[in-house]
Structure 1
Amino acid sequence: MLDIAKEAASQAGAYLQERFLERLVPDEELHNDVKLPEDKESERRIIEVLRRHLPGHAIYSEEIGMVEGDEEYLWIVDPLDGTNNYFIGFPYFSVSIALQHRGEVVLGVVYNPVAGQMFWAEKGNGAFLNGRRLAVNERDDLTRAVGTYIRGRNTVTKEEEWAFTRPFALNTKRLMRNIAPALDWCLLANGWLDYIVMQRSGIMDVAAGILIAQEAGAIITDWEGNPYRHASFSADHFPSLVASNGRIHERICGLIGG
């Protein structure tokens, strides 16, 4: 199943890379989002691969919603994570594919075609980038820590974002907002980032990335410090999480509401 997920991500990613340098015409521009035909074509290619190899499995994808099947196996697909970045020519986007088995995420693939980065993990077997095993870093100086902020597209106001992020911007080296959360989790997994704070974001965007970060040794909790447990997928589930290399975790949690 890992090979099938990689095949699907590779085919969709090749198409997205081919289209990336074109002047894109959106189907619709919204206040916080943009709808592109490239999203739908990437999704079509992913679903075609999954259906060809695993016709009985259920699929939930961002554009089409639920594709019915045996929900013992549910594929959670974001065919273009970072659509707004893609639209404006910013090369920070990915294809994200996760597999949930009986309510637990057991496989995740995140592919950044521009950088040629194929991240993947299987539960209990570690996380990898192009075949190289990943591990979080060991930074313990909060003032040198670099993190990202992930917010829900329609669940957090700009005023809430400004108030929430201020303590992190003031007390750590840098807080970024990359608007492609699947890749953010992979950067944490590879030791490039030190922490992530997530505020009411949909699990579809991050399911694969969370598993990759977990398998690389990241500590993931809710805002109160309780260990993260994947809940059976729901499109209406918007968790708020903190993730880190573990060494700065309590101090990052302490900045919430600070």
Structure 2
Amino acid sequence: MSERDAVERTAIEACLAGGRRLRVAFETGDTTVERFEHDVKSSADRESESAMLDVVTDRFPTHELDAEESGHHGGSADWRWVIDPLDGTNNFESGLPSFAAAVAVERAGTTELGVAYVPVADDLYVARRSDGVRYNGRPLATNEPDEGGSRAAVPEATVMSVVGHDVKLHEERAAVSRVLNEGVEDACKRRLESWSPTVHWGLLARGALDGALCYRPDEEEQLFGELLAGEAGLVIERGEEWYVAGRTPELAGSLADIAAGAVDPGTTADAGAEPSEG
């Protein structure tokens, strides 16, 4: 077994271990919770993270880790694990089944692997650089971008929006976020505000959603999402503080113009970075 295969197997086992802890806690309601103005902390986060870390550190004790609850764990290898033990804590504690345990794994600064397990739906997503996306063990068909004849035409599109935790803490950034929201809602059929991005990245890769617009997204979900989008064949554009993905060039371009216009008023996406594959 190659090292990358071993990392993938371990990442899957870690997400399943964390996700199963989450499912039990969700079904029993046996958690303690702290609610803040802009965040929620649940004991389920810590329990899931503990289970995930046990799996990873047992197999790869020299790998570097960044975990949402316990922070940075140093290592000597060139592998880094970014662990999100409960993506969707607000949903979890509100009784909504949209949450996941997820990891992204980098090697020498390049994201090589992303895994997310959605325990209530029993959905498992695995994205591996240059190898595509698997959903519950089956390869997903790669998106074939086109300019028309698709549900992803801009006025018919359902687009998820993602903002990082720091956005709501700064009025100027919160104001930009409101402009972004209005832009998507004016252009598209529906804007889905994501409180569990790894779940919705999976739906986007499967074709259930049409696009994504991210503003200052958090690393623990975004590394996974960008790898998934690239491996799924979505059309991608990005700026310094924003990232968009769409099932067609038309949709991705429209979202990029909305993002560039809100984040950098007076510019368009054409003035920014060239579209990329992930």
TM-score normalised over the length of structure 1: 0.89
Q: Matches of 2:211 and 2:70 in 1, distance apart? A: 32
Q: Does 1:136 align with 2:106?
A: no
| Paired residues for 1:1-258 under 5 Å | 1-23=7-29, 25-134=31-140, 135-136=142-143, 138=145, 139=150, 140-156=152-168, 157=171, 158-223=174-239, 239-247=241-249, 248-256=251-259, 257=261
Q: Matches of 1:241 and 1:125 in 2, distance apart? A: 22
Q: How many Å apart are 1:30 and its aligned residue?
A: 1.1
Q: Matches of 2:45 and 2:144 in 1, distance apart? A: 33
| Superimposed CA distance per residue, residues 92-111 of structure 1 (whole angstroms, 9 cap, x where no aligned partner) | 00011111000000011011
Matched length: 244
Q: Matches of 2:193 and 2:243 in 1, distance apart? A: 15
Q: Tell me, what secondary structure is at the counterpart of 1:255?
A: helix
Q: Is the 2:237–2:256 contact (alpha carbons within 8 Å) kept by the matching residues of 1?
A: no
Q: Matches of 1:244 and 1:30 in 2, distance apart? A: 34
Which is helix-richer, 1 or 2?
2
| Structure 2 counterpart of 1:227 | none
Distance 1:240 1:71, change over 3 A: farther
Q: Is the 1:57–1:73 contact (alpha carbons within 8 Å) kept by the matching residues of 2?
A: yes
Whichever residue aligns with residue 76 of structure 1, its letter is V
Task: Detail structure 1 runs of 4+ shifted over 4 Å in the superposition.
Answer: none
Greater C-alpha radius of gyration: 2
TM-score normalised over the length of structure 2: 0.83
Q: Matches of 1:75 and 1:35 in 2, distance apart? A: 22
Unaligned 5+ segments in structure 2 are: 1-6, 263-278
Q: Matches of 1:197 and 1:97 in 2, distance apart? A: 21
Q: Higher relative CO (CA 8 A, sep ≥ 6), structure 1 or 2?
A: 1
Q: Tell me, what secondary structure is at the counterpart of 1:175?
A: strand
Q: How many Å apart are 1:171 and its aligned residue?
A: 1.4
Q: Matches of 1:200 and 1:26 in 2, distance apart? A: 29
Whichever residue aligns with residue 159 of structure 2, its letter is G
Q: Is the 2:19–2:118 contact (alpha carbons within 8 Å) kept by the matching residues of 1?
A: yes
Whichever residue aligns with residue 191 of structure 1, its letter is G
| Superimposed CA distance per residue, residues 9-54 of structure 1 (whole angstroms, 9 cap, x where no aligned partner) | 1111111001102335544211111111110110010000001111
Question: Percent identity, aligned pairs only?
Answer: 30
Whichever residue aligns with residue 201 of structure 1, its letter is P
